[in-house]
Amino acid sequence: MSWGILAGQGLLPLEVGEGMKREGIEPFVLCLGENAAQFREAGFNVGEAQLGQLGSVRRLLIEHRVDQMVMIGRVGKENLLAGAVDQELLGLFAQLAKKNDDTLQLAIVNYFEEHGIRIETQTRFLKHLIPDRGVLTGPAISPEEKADLELGFRMAKAIGRLDIGQSVVVKKGMVLAIEAVEGTDQTILRGGQYGGSGVVVVKVAKPQQDFRFDVPAIGLNTLQALITVKARILGVEAGATFILDREKFLAEAEAHGITVVALDEVGA
């Protein structure tokens, strides 16, 4: 059994590599973005390719005997549309009835699995970024705020079940904003615009979320939106959300009086 990483852009692929090393695993890292130098410096076994050249990607992985792999990091769709797409990928896409992000990514997951490469969840080597249930930082939660968190969690799950979005903004029992395509940060800014300071933001995983290619994540940009609207609480889903730059994130949240709490169906 040999591990691979199919590495897009961002901070997470290198974090996965380090997570593997901590378990004594030496992965083959196939870089899709401009991050090969970074991985080489960190001492990884590195290849380079473009996801659009799916046949080459597969051959490189099999050459390096990869039979289980984490796919992680951003892969700009613009690359897939820039003409550098091989027959293998075109054939894959041609079979899809709907061509949204989820179906495209699932098709790629299935392609690798059909070729004998099992796709591991993105969470497997990143447990240190995923909070357990409970308050992570910040002032205590009042009973009214707890009710808002529970409402937000329930509503966000319902919205996720409809495959619309993952974030909601709530205050005093009222749903102020619901995320669709505008993204979490814009949803927070809008909720704050209508609700004023002290809103409660909740972001969850969809019930049908496929952790092999899509795990909810929050980072410093989202924290900045929370600070801008003077939000009171951020609730994320316990066991199911990456907190990027976790230490810095929690320290800055605390400095702004923002409570960060990891919730599950049972509560905080």
Residues that bind its own copies (CB under 8 A): 98, 100, 155, 158-159, 162-165, 168-169, 173-182, 190-191, 194-195
Contact between 71 and 212 under an 8 Å Cβ cutoff? The reply is yes
| Closest CA relative to residue 8, chosen from 83, 91, 69, 92 | 69
**Shortest distance (Å) from residue 224 CB to its own copies:** 21
252's CB contacts (< 8 A; 6+ apart) are 220, 223, 227
- The values of phi and psi at residue 120, to 5°, are -80, 155
Nearer to its own copies, 1 or 208 (CB): 208
**Shortest distance (Å) from residue 98 CB to its own copies:** 6
**Shortest distance (Å) from residue 221 CB to its own copies:** 18
Nearer to its own copies, 135 or 189 (CB): 189
**Shortest distance (Å) from residue 153 CB to its own copies:** 13
Neighbouring CB atoms inside 10 A of 99's CB total 10
**Shortest distance (Å) from residue 115 CB to its own copies:** 29
**Shortest distance (Å) from residue 163 CB to its own copies:** 8
Cα three-residue angle 248-206-80, rounded to 5 degrees: 80
Alpha helices in the chain (DSSP H): 12-22, 36-41, 54-63, 77-81, 87-94, 101-114, 143-161, 184-195, 220-228, 246-255
> What element of type H or E holds 53?
none
Amino acid at site 227: I
Tokens standing for residue 48: 């380079």
Nearer to its own copies, 17 or 165 (CB): 165
Nearer to its own copies, 191 or 216 (CB): 191
Rg (CA), the chain: 20
Nearer to its own copies, 19 or 195 (CB): 195
Nearer to its own copies, 131 or 191 (CB): 191
Nearer to its own copies, 157 or 212 (CB): 157
**Distance of alpha carbon 84 from alpha carbon 71, whole angstroms:** 20
Nearer to its own copies, 106 or 135 (CB): 106
150's CB contacts (< 8 A; 6+ apart) are 267
Contact between 208 and 103 under an 8 Å Cβ cutoff? The reply is no
**Shortest distance (Å) from residue 158 CB to its own copies:** 6
**Shortest distance (Å) from residue 137 CB to its own copies:** 27
